[in-house]
Structure 1
Amino acid sequence: MNELITTSQNEQGEIIMSGRELYEFLEVTTPYTIWFERMSEYGFIEGQDFITKMLESTGGRPKQDHHIKLDMAKEIAMIQRSDKGKEARQYFLQLEKMWNSPDMVIKRAMDFQQRKILELENQIKSDMQYTNFGKVVAISDGSINVGAFAKLIYDEHGIKIGRNKLLEWLRDKGYLIKSGREKNFPKQQYVEQGLFELKPTIVKRTEGDIQSGTTMITGKGQIKLTDVLLQEFKRAEVAN
């Protein structure tokens, strides 16, 4: 069957086409936007029967277009009451018959399944590095300090952020206390969530030893923070 009007398939497996291409085939003389507005008055609903699209144009304003479903296109063709309208409607009826044939139904199902497989494979590839890291950390009960974590995420994920910048990032994100005697200590809410722990340490001074603490990132915290850092660095790469 010769393709009079270009059609495609949306994510729901429905036939769609350009409103402008249908308009041009029907040889309508009324400006497109006015014509389409009139057609919409026959009870067609945006988001259900069509969606609005803006086409890029060279040197001028973007032009309005629409992706319309096959049922809407058939009704519009019938409304035109012209030879072109009749030709378009007959074409759509043949297209619908072919589209619903057993062979096409099977083909669409196989195409859909193949797309899902490819999407899953791409997702697995994207997540694999983090997943492997998560498995290693999850089976370890050991907490590490911020400097060791900075080295770990660089070695495992290529996130280039040293100890001091990581501390600054943790303070800015609200994980660590920003100032005072407890600066760089984890906030209590994140300790309770199991992301951090505070390891007591003794600082020796001439006037006497004082007790302090070292912020340690737990296995759970390493997984959580790695996820957040990966997302943030991905956004930064896209922005650049």
Structure 2
Amino acid sequence: MQELIRITVQNDQQLVSARDLYKGLELKIRFSLWVSKNFDDFEEGVDFMSVSTDTDMPNGGTKPIKDYALTIDMAKQLCLMSRTEKGKQYRKYLIEVERKWNDPQEIVKRGYAILQNENTQLKLENKNLTIQLEESNKKASYLDVILGTPDLLATTQIAADYGYSAMAFNKLLKSVGIQHKVNGQWILYKAYMGKGYVASKAFTFQDHRGRDRSRTTTYWTQAGRKLIYDVLKDNDILPLIERDDIA
């Protein structure tokens, strides 16, 4: 598949440059006007974030300009909103990129890479993980293999275990009664609050007007990850690694 637009990965999430997408769609309006007209329906810090990039100057050298890192879901919607042939072409390309990203074998590979990079000691102690990943005809237990790391995990990482995007997985957790959204942040229902299932991290970013902003994001503890596993299993939803229909 020929590359139409560069895809970057940050925190196990695929992102595209808003300026690259704007250029590829061959839009006639100014970039800043396109942003102001189309970004209001999306949430900063969730669907996109402000970043800085360098542009070449006519007399040599570079200067920093504002850009935005977009999730694949937002980029697809912007393509649809453009109502152009280029928009159809880029949306089709991004759908294929997303399909390959969510391929079960790719998810397992990424999960294995994360475990390698984040916890070398775990690799040495858990020989069973290596054996199970190398032997394609054997299935590993999700609880045995995945729940070994003590780190806090973003929803995106857990969602990948089930073959979901973060947005779709958050909606799934809402549908099974684990969480709901309050002021832009996913919050546990009362029955699960105060039990060590989640922790919050604050991060700062610049909005599209250049103002410094902060947002609190929910991260899952391993106890919370097991809660998700138990509740979803009760609803006949299993992680990819435990599903019989995936070789």
Larger Cα Rg: Structure 1 or Structure 2? 1
Q: Quick one: higher RCO (CA 8 Å, sep 6+), 1 or 2?
A: 2
TM-score range, shorter chain: 0.3 to 0.5
Which structure: greater strand fraction? Answer: 2
More helix by share: 1
TM-score, structure 2 as length reference: 0.45
